[in-house]
Amino acid sequence: MSKSNLVTDAAAEFKGRATNKQKVQALLHKYPWVSSAVVLVFALFIFSFGNENFLTPNNLSLILQQTAVIGAIAAGQTLIILTAGIDLSCGAIAIFASMVMAKTAFVNGWPGWAAFMLGIAVGTGAGAFNGWLITKVNLPPFIVTLGTFNVFSALTLFYATGRTIMDKELEPFFLYLGNPIPLGAFKITYGVLLVIVMYLILAFSLRYTGWGRHVYAVGDDIEAARLAGIQVKRVLMSVYITAGFIFAVTSWVIIGRVAAASPNSGTNLNLDSITAVVIGGTSLFGGRGAIFGSLIGAVIVGVFRNGLTLAGVDLYYQTFAVGVLIITAVSIDQWIRKAGV
Amino acid sequence: MSNSVAPVLEAKNLVKNYGRVVAIDGADLQLFPGEILAVVGDNGAGKSTMIKCLSGAETPDGGVMELDGKPITFRRQKDSRDAGIETVYQTLAVSPALDIAANLYLGREIRKKGPLGSIFRMLDNSGMKKSAKEHITSLGIGTIQNMSQAVETLSGGQRQAVSVARAAAFGQKVIIMDEPTAALGVRESGQVLKLIQSLREKGLAVILISHNMPQVFEVADRIHIQRLGKRVAVVTPKSHTMNEVVAVMTGALTLEEKDQTLGPIR
């Protein structure tokens, strides 16, 4: 055994020689969301000097409400990006589902729950359609979802005939998620709570179930996953269907948040969700990242926009800041990935 | 030598085409229990394709495959694994970002006992780590200590060891290895060859595809020589020399059936 001890001693010595920079790299390699959490805390600290109202319960609650929609979409987007895919149609699916819900309830007089179920079915079906094109027709996710983004957007406008359904025309059921939960000075809405519960369920599934492990394996190295006996196409299909379901649930959050269903809303959701995922430390190359990072990423974008607004900074600079955040996040990801080799 | 031993794995007249390219053209293969069968052949002889058919990664266009005398058809990778055939691919087929234990159990994870496993589908991570450690240690790979280490942090030899350990841990009947030492240094190659021999000791039948003649002659019981998509001869390291094997591989020499070793030797 002396020989193997020698080897481990040598390895231990090698590890002991790691510089601080390497230690940070190794830490981020293991927990990619740490850097985004640091950025979040740092941003909260800085923006508190920009305006005294920033760190008030009222404002923080507002940030969470503003973040909930992107956070929810980003949850589904994370699943897809973990498999090394991308979904450019996520926002379009959510808006499509929200119009289906609102219009069948208001125009066709369906009961709220039935309209809701139909919207969920349509959103899930849209996700399944993406998944089918990717796994059965073997098209790249980028192309598929670029195409379906246009298709779903057009279907939405066509179906809604360009008309927004206002809050007075909507059943209380649809506005329910906009109601605040009394929690001291904080005003967390049921929508925010739903998003957090969604993240908890996804985090559990990704971390503790075989399905979650297969999602990572498929994104990490699809051929290795296939040869290891994982039914790769089935995993991919399940991811796109689950994501479609999440986008459909998000449409409920959207209606609750803006108290209306508009075919023209949510145009930024597609790209903003990718922003949140990337800032949250999930690798666009797949197989690496944590779902909670995306929630943190969504909150960071919300904090930046809100904090800069309160500090009286022009909207252009906010967009500029988000751009810098994205590039920084991806640079860090590239640097982290080197630690593995 | 007795001819009463039945082959554990047998392929008869396998055919596989890729478009207009004929990869294997009526190839036969017989693997007997407890032997190491080396498969050698020049590039394009159809070694890899035949192995892919046997391991379920490809479906042959014609011919029959039998496991323990029963006909088998593999539609996907999992089918061959369920039948007791494990494969170590040249590419290793490990997932770099996942840890050693996760890789060992990839595609056949174990769930926790009780409602946590059956209802919440929770994985038994600690249990899998523990038995992964046992498998790795039983193969004598002392340099791998931490089962929660990501595979990408391992050296080439250690990755190979993980891949071999996975096959050894779950292989019930047959283990197929495609160029297991191609990427390794001398010392690591030696370790892997020892692993292969220990699999034979455990009673498993091993198919070893290799370009490395000295290694083939070191461990193989019989040598299956493939040429132009067909089996042209089966010899043993004792009956023929390396030069003769290379001559058969390249077509410079043809062997009469009486000079071959088509039956089991152990």
- Range of the structural domain that residue A158 is part of: 35-41+53-331
SS3 (DSSP) at B41:
strand
Per-residue model confidence (pLDDT) at position B1: 45
How deeply is A174 buried, as exposed, middle or buried, from its count of CB atoms within 10 A (0-12, 13-18, 19+)?
A: buried
Contact list in B for residue A211 (CB cut-off 8 A) is 121
CB contact under 8 A, B96 and A221: yes
Residue A153's pLDDT band, with cuts at 50, 70 and 90, is: very high
pLDDT in tens, B230-260: 999 999 999 999 999 999 999 888 888 878 8
Per-residue model confidence (pLDDT) at position A340: 52
Interatomic CA distance for residues B157 and B164, integer angstroms: 10
A7: contact with B, CB 8 A cutoff: yes
Contact list in A for residue B107 (CB cut-off 8 A) is 214, 225, 228-230
Interatomic CA distance for residues B155 and B187, integer angstroms: 13
Average pLDDT over residues B136-152: 77
pLDDT at B143 exceeding the cut of 80 = no
Per-residue model confidence (pLDDT) at position A158: 92
Question: CA-nearest residue of chain B to A285?
Answer: B97
Q: How far is A47 from chain B (nearest CA, A)?
A: 36
Average pLDDT over residues B127-137: 85
A281 in any annotated domain: yes
Mutate to test the interface with A, among B94, B95, B110, B123 (most CBs of A within 10 A): B95
Nearest to A4 among B87, B123, B143 (CB): B143
Residue B3's pLDDT band, with cuts at 50, 70 and 90, is: low
Question: CA-nearest residue of chain A to B156?
Answer: A341
Contact list in B for residue A213 (CB cut-off 8 A) is 98, 102, 106, 109, 123
Question: CA-nearest residue of chain A to B145?
Answer: A8
pLDDT at A108 exceeding the cut of 80 = yes
A300 in any annotated domain: yes
Interatomic CA distance for residues B149 and A289, integer angstroms: 16
pLDDT in tens, B59-117: 999 999 999 989 999 888 888 888 999 998 887 788 988 999 999 999 888 888 888 88
pLDDT at B264 exceeding the cut of 70 = yes
CB contact under 8 A, B145 and A8: yes
Contact list in B for residue A217 (CB cut-off 8 A) is 95, 98, 106
Interatomic CA distance for residues A249 and A139, integer angstroms: 26
Contact list in A for residue B109 (CB cut-off 8 A) is 210, 213
CB contact under 8 A, B107 and A230: yes
Residue B138's pLDDT band, with cuts at 50, 70 and 90, is: confident
Per-residue model confidence (pLDDT) at position B141: 66
CB contact under 8 A, A225 and B152: no
Average pLDDT over residues A192-205: 96
**Nearest by Cα to A216 from A79, A114, A31:** A79
Q: How far is A299 from chain B (nearest CA, A)?
A: 27
**Total beta-carbon pairs less than 8 A apart between chain A and chain B:** 89
Chain-centre distance for alpha carbon A121: 20
CATH number of the domain to which A96 belongs: 1.10.3470
Average pLDDT over residues A264-288: 90
Q: What is the mean pLDDT of chain A?
A: 88
pLDDT at A104 exceeding the cut of 90 = yes
Nearest to B95 among A3, A4, A224 (CB): A224
Q: Which of A195-204, B53-62, B105-114, B151-160 has the highest mean pLDDT?
A: A195-204
Residue A149's pLDDT band, with cuts at 50, 70 and 90, is: very high
pLDDT in tens, B162-212: 888 888 888 889 999 988 888 777 877 888 888 888 888 888 999 999 889
Q: Are B211 and B179 in contact (CB under 8 A)?
A: yes
Residues pairing with B231 in the sheet: B226
SS3 (DSSP) at B125:
helix
pLDDT higher for B111 or B266? B111
Q: How far is A238 from chain B (nearest CA, A)?
A: 16
Contact list in B for residue A221 (CB cut-off 8 A) is 94-96
CB contact under 8 A, A220 and B98: yes
Average pLDDT over residues A200-210: 95
Q: How far is B78 from chain A (nearest CA, A)?
A: 5
> In terms of CATH, what superfamily is B9-95+155-259?
P-loop containing nucleotide triphosphate hydrolases (3.40.50.300)
Per-residue model confidence (pLDDT) at position A276: 94
Query: A259: alpha, beta or left, given left = phi > 0 and alpha = psi -120 to 50?
Result: left
Contact list in B for residue A81 (CB cut-off 8 A) is none
pLDDT at B2 exceeding the cut of 50 = no
pLDDT at A8 exceeding the cut of 90 = no
Interatomic CA distance for residues A176 and A255, integer angstroms: 9
Task: Give every CB contact of residue A264 below 8 A, 6+ residues apart in sequence.
Answer: A162, A164
Residue B140's pLDDT band, with cuts at 50, 70 and 90, is: low
CB contact under 8 A, B150 and A340: yes
A208: contact with B, CB 8 A cutoff: yes
Contact list in A for residue B103 (CB cut-off 8 A) is 228
A233: contact with B, CB 8 A cutoff: no
pLDDT at A333 exceeding the cut of 90 = no
pLDDT at A115 exceeding the cut of 70 = yes
Residue A17's pLDDT band, with cuts at 50, 70 and 90, is: low
Q: How far is B82 from chain A (nearest CA, A)?
A: 10
Domain count for chain A: 1
pLDDT in tens, B18-58: 988 888 998 999 999 999 999 999 888 888 889 889 988 88
A220: contact with B, CB 8 A cutoff: yes
CB contact under 8 A, A287 and B143: no
pLDDT higher for B71 or A182? B71
According to DSSP H, which parts of chain A are helical? 2-16, 20-30, 34-50, 57-82, 90-106, 112-135, 141-160, 172-175, 190-208, 210-220, 222-227, 232-258, 269-279, 291-310, 315-338
Residue ranges of domains in chain B: 9-95+155-259
The count of other CB atoms within 10 Å of the CB of residue B50 is 29
pLDDT higher for B231 or A26? B231
In angstroms, the Cα distances linking B194 to A243, B185, B189, B190, B198 are 47, 14, 9, 6, 6
Nearest to B122 among A209, A221, A227 (CB): A209
Core vs surface per residue B204-217: b (16+ CB within 10 A) or e: bbbbbbbebbebbb
pTM for this structure? 0.87
- CA-based radius of gyration for chain A: 22
pLDDT at A9 exceeding the cut of 50 = no
Per-residue model confidence (pLDDT) at position A3: 44
CB contact under 8 A, B97 and A227: no
A228: contact with B, CB 8 A cutoff: yes
A2 in any annotated domain: no
According to DSSP H, which parts of chain B are helical? 47-55, 77-82, 100-104, 115-118, 125-138, 156-170, 186-201, 213-219, 242-250
The count of other CB atoms within 10 Å of the CB of residue A199 is 19
